[in-house]
């Protein structure tokens, strides 16, 4: 029997030359993008869309305000989208202790 055929039969049986193949793999249960990250991405999409809207107002030479502003809006929108992908939810802060009532100065007679 050839080596190729042996390997094929071993793989069909779930075996590889390196050992057993695990039956299940660990799957990721959590959502990779946080809720704050999703909101940030939406803000980036809106910013980039606004940049493209402003770009329609630019003149042929790109010398007016729209031609100057639109690249910054578009690139800024893409940057905000990228930031949103890596942004995590803020850690919940520790509950603040209720403020203690101010102590009254002692009166001396």
Residue 7 located in a structural domain: no
Residue 79 located in a structural domain: yes
How far apart CA 18 and CA 32 sit, in angstroms, is: 32
Residue 97 located in a structural domain: no
User: How many separate domains does the chain show?
Assistant: 1
pTM: 0.58
Residue 102 located in a structural domain: no
Digit-coded pLDDT (tens) for 18-66: 655 555 555 656 789 899 999 999 999 999 999 999 999 999 999 999 9
Q: CA angle, corner 30, sides to 25 and 31, nearest 5?
A: 120
- Indicate whether 108 pLDDT > 90: no
CA distance to 36, 79, 87, 100, 102, per residue, from 95 (Å) = 21, 34, 23, 15, 20
Query: For residue 15, what pLDDT band results from cuts at 50, 70 and 90?
Result: low
Range of weakest confidence among 40-44, 58-62, 84-88, 93-97? 93-97
For residue 85, what are the domain limits? 32-89
């Amino acid at each position: 029997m050839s080596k190729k055929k042996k390997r094929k039969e071993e793989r069909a049986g779930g075996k590889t030359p390196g050992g057993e193949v695990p039956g299940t793999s660990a799957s990721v249960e959590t959502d990779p993008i946080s809720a704050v990250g999703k909101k940030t991405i939406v803000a980036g999409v809106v910013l980039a869309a606004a940049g493209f809207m402003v770009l329609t107002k630019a003149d042929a030479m790109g010398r007016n305000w729209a031609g100057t502003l639109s690249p910054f809006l578009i690139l800024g929108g893409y940057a905000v989208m990228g930031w949103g992908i890596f942004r995590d939810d803020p850690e919940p802060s520790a509950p603040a202790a209720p403020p203690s009532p101010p102590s009254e100065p002692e009166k001396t007679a």
